[in-house]
Amino acid sequence: MTTFAELGLAPDILRALDEMGYATPTPIQAQVIPLALHGGDILGAAQTGTGKTAAFALPLIQRLLPFANTSTSPAKHPIRALILTPTRELAIQVEESIQAYTRHVPLRSLVVYGGVNINTQIPILKTGVEILVATPGRLLDHVQNKTLLLNQVNTLVLDEADRMLDMGFMPDLKRIVALLPAQRVNMMFSATFPEEIRKLADSILNSPTFIEVARNETAVTVTQVVHPVQQERKRQLLAHLIRSRDLNQVLVFTGTKLGCNRLSNELNKAGIHADAIHGDKTQQERIKALDAFKAGSIRVLVATDVAARGIDIEALPFVVNYDLPHNAEDYVHRIGRTGRAGASGEAISLVSEMETRYLKDIEKLIGRSIDVVIVPGFEPGAADVPAYESHPPRQRERNGRAERPARGPAGARPATPRDALFDAPYEPRDSARLDSTPAPAHPLPRKKQVAALFRSPVKSDTPG
């Protein structure tokens, strides 16, 4: 097995890696580092969790070693490497890694991102930094304010390029690239490669080497499961899974900010400590929630895709897709949060009838089918939903379209206070016993289309 030393890294960098407990390079590191040390452009297909940050950061740092100095003159510390990320969270994490990797070399780094007062970033920029990690919008703010110069940048890294595209950063990226010296090394990483990403790569990279880490390299340790369930019973099912399986450190994805807040509030009301992160939360709120989640003082973090992007939590055990993403590639990103660095993880998707079409796209993209497990008492085709389990159809947040009413009895449905949905006594149907043991797993034959489960009352065939 290759070692970091064999990849050609300098002693001061090796010492930092050793102190951080990095014993051997990950596959993407083993492939990218030797090439990038020689200054070749790289197009990397890798998602978070593969070790891609060190893959681009270590060679970048080593190539800057000749410029490392302890001078106090700002002029001696121009920006030489620029790393762009789609979100502040990822920017912060990347810069934290760089700080750690450069702990034994006099290279300076800084992270700049939007959502915080720009004036606090200016004094540090003025002292000079060799490595700048930035989100595109805030970087351009600084360019416009003339608080930084990019004319000595010799290395450009675009991290999670597909997400930058999704977030509408393409025009910003083009403006930034136009400000850089033509002579430079470029590295671009993306988990997915839609047409526009390939075009971007063509326009920025110079005869790049394409390095691919198998899409499911990290996912092999991730168990994926689909629980078909009626939309209006998802909250109850989630609370049930968390309680009955005693799940902790659960990252839950919702499709909208509103849904994210609502779910977090309702979990709290049900006595399950949760917090929400999404684009409308301030940076401070997001950091606070993330820290509390990492420290284990909150059990569930409910997040939107954008806010969760780049979150790196060591060995996150559970990811729940409360709403299935409409974009199959988001699914890959989401489940990339779990099963890190060889640790096992579980990706649980709660799938309503109207979401089954997204499931098909996801399975096509990941190239395999996901086990479908009906949780007893939450059968998708349940015809005799007890009154307390239903509530009147509410307006869907997305697209302002009305949510389709629940299937089931057309009879009277007394409006139930929301938290009662959690607290209602729970009577499993079909005499299936549900106690503190996990819901029995009984994957259905794949021939049975998930959508069909919603149309016929399917009984959960509890094994034994």
Which residues would be at the binding site for ligand AMP (CB under 6 A)?
Answer: 22, 25-26, 29, 48-54, 312, 314, 340-341
Residue 172 or 312: the one with the smaller Cβ distance to ligand AMP is: 312
Closest approach, Cβ 66 to ligand AMP, in A, equals 25
Residue 29 or 236: the one with the smaller Cβ distance to ligand AMP is: 29
Residue 1 or 415: the one with the smaller Cβ distance to ligand AMP is: 1
Closest approach, Cβ 52 to ligand AMP, in A, equals 5
**Total residues belonging to the chain:** 464
Contacts of 410 (CB under 8 A, 6+ apart): none
Helix axes 328-335, 356-366, angle to 10 degrees: 70
Residue 25 or 380: the one with the smaller Cβ distance to ligand AMP is: 25
Segment (H or E) for 171? helix 170-178
Closest approach, Cβ 84 to ligand AMP, in A, equals 15
> Which of helix, strand or coil describes residue 156?
strand
**Structure tokens of 167?**
């977030």
Closest approach, Cβ 313 to ligand AMP, in A, equals 9
Segment (H or E) for 31? helix 27-37
CB atoms within 10 A of CB 40: 18
**Structure tokens of 117?**
């007062």
Residue 65 or 100: the one with the smaller Cβ distance to ligand AMP is: 100
**Structure tokens of 301?**
């973090």
The Cα-based distances of 222 to 67, 132, 252, 337 in angstroms read 42, 34, 16, 10
**Structure tokens of 11?**
């002693």
Comparing C-alpha atoms, which of 407, 429, 414 is closest to residue 229? 407
Closest approach, Cβ 458 to ligand AMP, in A, equals 39
User: For the chain, first and last CA: distance in Å?
Assistant: 46
Residue 214 or 341: the one with the smaller Cβ distance to ligand AMP is: 341
Asked if residue 227 lies in contact with residue 348, where contact means CB atoms within 8 angstroms, the answer is: yes
Residue 40 or 51: the one with the smaller Cβ distance to ligand AMP is: 51
Closest approach, Cβ 284 to ligand AMP, in A, equals 23
User: What is the spatial distance between Cα 298 and Cα 291, in angstroms, rounded to a whole number?
Assistant: 9
Closest approach, Cβ 309 to ligand AMP, in A, equals 11
